[in-house]
Amino acid sequence: MLTTKQKFADALREWVEVFMRRSMRETVQFWKDAGLSMPQISAMMRLHHHGACGVSEVGAHLGVTNAAASQMVDRLVQLGYLERAEDPNDRRAKQLTLTAKGRALVQKSIEARRRWLDELGAVLTAEQQTEIADALGSLTAAARDLDKAKP
């Protein structure tokens, strides 16, 4: 018989198969339509979620050298999605932030996914929706804790 742990892992694995493949593909497609690549998306998402940071942090996040990060940031600045200002505390460092244009694009990408998720609500009862919302709340909290523990 299956243990609680195994059932949990199986449910999660199945969910990943159905959802992730769809969501990942759609997301990449959205950004490709906007003329941006995976690394560029990752960089902008990093800034959206973690706020301003330096060039090396972006590089570390993507697992590339500072040189690569610098070049990529430069392209995003040219395109008007990022702003690259001098850090007032350390004049060697730069503070990267999303411009209004950058924030708008991130927002649009999030909206696009939301529309698909909304369709799901339509085929579930109110009771199911409440249960699922609660369960996913714990799951999200657990994932965030794990991220904090070892980012």
Partner DNA sequence: TGATATAGTTAAGCAGTCTTAACTAATCAG
Partner DNA sequence: CTGATTAGTTAAGACTGCTTAACTATATCA
* Binding-site ranges for a copy of itself (CB under 8 A): 4-5, 7-25, 27-29, 32, 38, 42, 45, 49, 61, 63, 110, 113-114, 117-121, 123-124, 126, 128-140, 142-147
Query: Cα angle at 67 between 150 and 78, to 5 degrees?
Result: 105
97: phi then psi, degrees, rounded to nearest 5: -140, 155
Of the candidate spans 4-12, 82-90, 120-128, 135-143, the one that interacts with DNA by CB under 7 A turns out to be 82-90
Look at residue 126 and give the partner it binds from DNA, a copy of itself, none, a contact being a CB closer than 5 to 8 Å depending on partner kind.
Answer: a copy of itself
Q: Does 33 help bind DNA (rule: CB under 7 A)?
A: no
Which of 130, 115, 132 is closest to 15 using CA atoms? 132
Token pair recorded at residue 148? 């904090």
Name the residue nearer to DNA (CB basis): 74 or 131.
74
- Residue 64 as a binder of DNA (CB under 7 A): the answer is yes
Taking CB under 7 A as the rule, does residue 74 contact DNA? yes
Q: How far is the C-alpha of 52 from the C-alpha of 92, rounded, in Å?
A: 16
Alpha carbons 129 and 26: distance in angstroms, whole number = 24
Q: How far apart (Å, rounded) are the C-alpha atoms in residues 151 and 141?
A: 14
In whole angstroms, the minimum distance from the beta carbon of 31 to DNA comes to 10
With respect to DNA, which residue has the nearer C-beta, 51 or 137?
51
What's the CA gap between 134 and 81, in Å, rounded?
36
* Closest distance to a copy of itself from the beta carbon of 1 (Å): 14
Residue whose CB is less far from a copy of itself, 71 or 90: 71
